[in-house]
Structure 1
Amino acid sequence: MFPTAGTSRSHKRLLAGLIALVGVLSCIIVLVYHDYFLLGDPVQPNNDDVKYIQSARLLINEGVLAYNTKERPSAFIMPGMPVLLGGFMTVFGQEQGGVIAFRLYQCLLQAFSIYLIYFIGRKMFSPRAGLVAAMISAFYMPDYFASGVILSEGTFRALLMMMVCVTLIAREKNRTWLYVIIGVLTAAAAYFKPHASLYPAVFLVIWYADKLPWRQAVKYLSVMAGVYVLLLCPWWIRNWLTFHEWITFTNSGGSPFLLGTRIDGQLPPPGFFEEYPQYSPETLFQGADHAAVQKGLDVLSYGLRHEPLKYIYWLTLGRWAELYFHPFYSRPIWPITRPIMDVLQILLMLGNMAGVAWAMFKRGFHRLLPLWLALGYFTVIYLPFVAFGRYGYPNMALLILFGAGLIDGMLAYRQTPSLKTGGRRTSSS
């Protein structure tokens, strides 16, 4: 699927070494640190990871998919994590065995992701840029934390990068079966994070830029949509039979939107509660999810009218910084403490953003179009909602590719004699 043609033997050996290093080191870390990576209390579930474990056990034992509702069925989350985790627990046991097996599965994903990063870097920039990106990722500590934590980010990141890889190949070959795979990957990603569902829309821009005949575009778009709908049907049917209403993804979308209105986690200004007396500081962020959207709209309406610059910044650059400048690193791994990782994350992001600027002016927009679109889509889609490092983590691999491209460009510049200098020498000889 992702060939290595054109990769030198030395590059292959180095890449294989990086993949082995990440795989072995990830396994050692998750086996040594074990339940240190739990973010919540298993006895009184108070975080997503322990709630996923609870949901997986309920699914195995009672055949009920529930989250935050004890034993009552719910559509609060997509079923990807409970089903996947439940599969491991069915085979390896509902206590430690299944959880350990799931963590080791994430270790394998991390190792595989090194190859995916290399493949994208080689296709978009050069083999050396791909290797640089793989090396940076191999020493990026949040990746090892992601191997141990019981969350969906590791699986979703691998799916995201596979989507980008297949997009690159589909752009070159335009074969129907490749668009079938895009539909499968998009549906798989949606079962973990529904916002992935519109990813195939990036092809509309790619096809327009590449001047693909519209008949082919309609055909490929229909293939992707048809595969996606077919694979999401079990979820839609389950929701209709269980709740007797149409639920496309989940019924919890309002809460992330409302929480996203909190600037640095703070309540709205006191004047908001004077203008909207139906709310109070104690109840604003409580209550049913279906009412959260209206609450959020009221907060934004007040903020944009009274503090427009503050709220515009928060809804754009502020959320972008929350996504990418704060590492997904809630359980530090020796010897990299959280304060150290905070500094490293800022330095890495500064390099990545320099790479984005360099690529924009030196590499050309058309060549890197799939990478631009993937990064842009999975950034913009988060801006209306609460944004933090956990959600930005899957995109870090794409950003690292730009930083690696800059490093590759600098190395190429140093190795290639300046044309201007060469011209002066020729004229003087």
Structure 2
Amino acid sequence: INGFGFSFAEMHWPITRPDEPTAHWSFLYTLYLAAVYWVCGVTPLAARLLQAVIAGVLHPWLAYRLGRRIFGPVAGLWAAIITAGYLYFIYYAGALMTETFYIIGILWCLDLALSIGQSETGGSPRHWIMLGLALGITLLLRQVFMLFTPFLFGWLLWQIKPHGARGWRRIVQNVAVCGLVVACLILPWTVRNYLAFGKFVPLNTNSGYAFFWGNHPIYGTSFPGVLPDDGPTYQELIPGELWTLNEAELDSALLQRGIGFVRADPQRYVLLSLSRLREYFKFWPSADSGLFSNIARVGSFGLLLPLLLWGMALCIWRIFWRPMDRSINRSGLLLITLFAAVYTGVHLLTWTLVRYRLPVDTIFVLFAAYALASYAPSSYALASGLRRNGDLAP
């Protein structure tokens, strides 16, 4: 707001020096905060309230759309209801972090992909432009989503199944349009980073830090989530000879060090990655967490887990034991399962915290909603109401 760009007035996490450029944080979310502060003054409460209102409307609505596309309208309603009451989502809706907008962006991308994939024509140029916009915005919030985009486009190609030269030409043109929109959103920040650091950095300078810290030998074969207070800090783990590098150079150097850890002891890396399952899927209270964190953990994922497993079991049963049952959109189910698997794998191989699982929780909600839609007595009342409104075929 005061013209200092993307920098800090004092030493800041991770080791960004005062008045030096940074690309560690989401550019888009920073601009959101700056815009709110410019209009309302530096009032974090205003940013929290606006974000909570946006999330309160868009998050359940998108959950409904995905649930309806894959499992039907009753499951869509249950997905919206669960999303609206999920304690983790409620907490992060007002937290000044990228999580909430990022989750909304992911759901938007998946919803548009399903819309394109289910279209007989493979989607109009408008749909592909919207997908490019959704992808660009989501990447500007968290660049880690870039690792899923090849799988997303692979699914689209498999789903559309272009035939002949004309079909392939059409899909290539649409993908090019989508990519052009993404490039228009990303390239300005790539140019900015080159001017700031003298180095090619597509978006953010945080992947190297995460891989280095997440796979440091200090953990052995057991990942604790967060370093204990009685041990070295994250900054102290960074070799002293690297502290003179700028942020982009340091990010690259740390990534190489992290890869070196893996090469030096691949077996330890495998065991360490497997140990992250415990932290990633934690649903029980912990002595290291505060009261509210424990309540949120047990009251959200702890309650969701039985319904999630039930919904997954139903999907497996209907796909393999009732192959003629078409109540499930199987290609859509493949897409959301692919996202959950890829995103989980990325964090098991790098760095894991419970909040990094939240985008996958939005997918888990859909399975839980399917379980409720299939057997919960109240689902019959919902189905009857939808039939009366013409939203559900008899």
Which residue of structure 2 lines up, in the alignment, with residue 343 of structure 1? 298
Structure-2 change in CA distance of 1:361 and 1:145 (3 Å): same
Does the residue aligned with 2:7 lie in a helix, a strand or coil? coil
Does the residue aligned with 2:219 lie in a helix, a strand or coil? coil
Hey, what's the Cα distance between the residues in 2 that align with 1:241 and 1:291?
A: 19
Is 1:232 the counterpart of 2:197? The answer is no
Is 1:299 the counterpart of 2:267? The answer is no
Which residue of structure 2 lines up, in the alignment, with residue 44 of structure 1? none
Q: Which runs of 5+ in 2 are unaligned?
A: 9-15, 222-231, 243-249, 320-327, 381-394
Compare 345-354 and 120-129 and name the one that shifted more.
Answer: 345-354
Structure-2 change in CA distance of 1:90 and 1:165 (3 Å): same
Which residue of structure 1 lines up, in the alignment, with residue 17 of structure 2? 69
Structure-2 change in CA distance of 1:205 and 1:71 (3 Å): same
Amino acid at match of 1:176: P
* TM-fit CA distance, 1:302: 4.4
Amino acid at match of 2:282: F
Which residue of structure 2 lines up, in the alignment, with residue 128 of structure 1? 74
Equivalent residues of 1:354, 1:403 under 8 A apart:
yes
Equivalent residues of 1:328, 1:389 under 8 A apart:
no
Which residue of structure 2 lines up, in the alignment, with residue 32 of structure 1? none
Matches for 1:255-270 after TM superposition, within 5 Å: 255-261=209-215, 267-268=219-220
Equivalent residues of 1:323, 1:393 under 8 A apart:
no
* TM-fit CA distance, 1:183: 0.7
Equivalent residues of 1:142, 1:327 under 8 A apart:
no
Is 1:354 the counterpart of 2:310? The answer is yes
Which residue of structure 1 lines up, in the alignment, with residue 247 of structure 2? none
- CA deviation string 1:334-367 (max 9, x = no partner): xx84333333323422431332343234256434
Structure-2 change in CA distance of 1:331 and 1:234 (3 Å): farther
Is 1:100 the counterpart of 2:100? The answer is no
Does the residue aligned with 1:191 lie in a helix, a strand or coil? helix
Q: TM-score, normalised by structure 2?
A: 0.75
Equivalent residues of 2:187, 2:202 under 8 A apart:
no
Is 1:312 the counterpart of 2:270? The answer is yes
Hey, what's the Cα distance between the residues in 2 that align with 1:328 and 1:245?
A: 44
Hey, what's the Cα distance between the residues in 2 that align with 1:108 and 1:331?
A: 28
Hey, what's the Cα distance between the residues in 1 that align with 2:280 and 2:358?
A: 8
Q: TM-score, normalised by structure 1?
A: 0.69
Structure-2 change in CA distance of 1:91 and 1:286 (3 Å): farther
Identical aligned pairs, as a percentage?
22
Is 1:218 the counterpart of 2:175? The answer is no
Hey, what's the Cα distance between the residues in 2 that align with 1:177 and 1:328?
A: 47
Equivalent residues of 1:109, 1:154 under 8 A apart:
no
* TM-fit CA distance, 1:241: 2.3
Hey, what's the Cα distance between the residues in 2 that align with 1:328 and 1:65?
A: 38
Which residue of structure 2 lines up, in the alignment, with residue 147 of structure 1? 93
Matches for 1:29-428 after TM superposition, within 5 Å: 60-66=1-7, 68-94=16-42, 96=43, 99-112=44-57, 113-173=59-119, 174-201=123-150, 202-213=152-163, 214-261=168-215, 267-268=219-220, 284-287=237-240, 288=242, 289=250, 290-305=252-267, 307=268, 311-316=269-274, 318-325=275-282, 337-344=292-299, 345-363=301-319, 365-411=330-376
Equivalent residues of 2:284, 2:294 under 8 A apart:
no
Hey, what's the Cα distance between the residues in 2 that align with 1:111 and 1:91?
A: 22
Equivalent residues of 2:307, 2:372 under 8 A apart:
no
Which residue of structure 1 lines up, in the alignment, with residue 225 of structure 2? none
Structure-2 change in CA distance of 1:198 and 1:342 (3 Å): closer
Amino acid at match of 2:302: I
* TM-fit CA distance, 1:373: 2.9
Structure-2 change in CA distance of 1:154 and 1:411 (3 Å): same
Hey, what's the Cα distance between the residues in 2 that align with 1:360 and 1:262?
A: 38
- CA deviation string 1:246-277 (max 9, x = no partner): 211223321100222259xx5338xxxxxxxx
Amino acid at match of 1:108: V
Compare 237-246 and 285-294 and name the one that shifted more.
Answer: 285-294
Amino acid at match of 2:367: F
Cα RMSD (Å) of the superposition?
3.1
* TM-fit CA distance, 1:69: 2.8
Hey, what's the Cα distance between the residues in 2 that align with 1:117 and 1:237?
A: 35
Equivalent residues of 1:64, 1:71 under 8 A apart:
no
Does the residue aligned with 2:347 lie in a helix, a strand or coil? coil
Equivalent residues of 1:206, 1:370 under 8 A apart:
no
Does the residue aligned with 1:325 lie in a helix, a strand or coil? coil
Hey, what's the Cα distance between the residues in 2 that align with 1:303 and 1:357?
A: 37
Which residue of structure 1 lines up, in the alignment, with residue 389 of structure 2? none
Compare 286-295 and 243-252 and name the one that shifted more.
Answer: 286-295
Q: Which runs of 5+ in 1 are unaligned?
A: 1-59, 270-279, 416-429
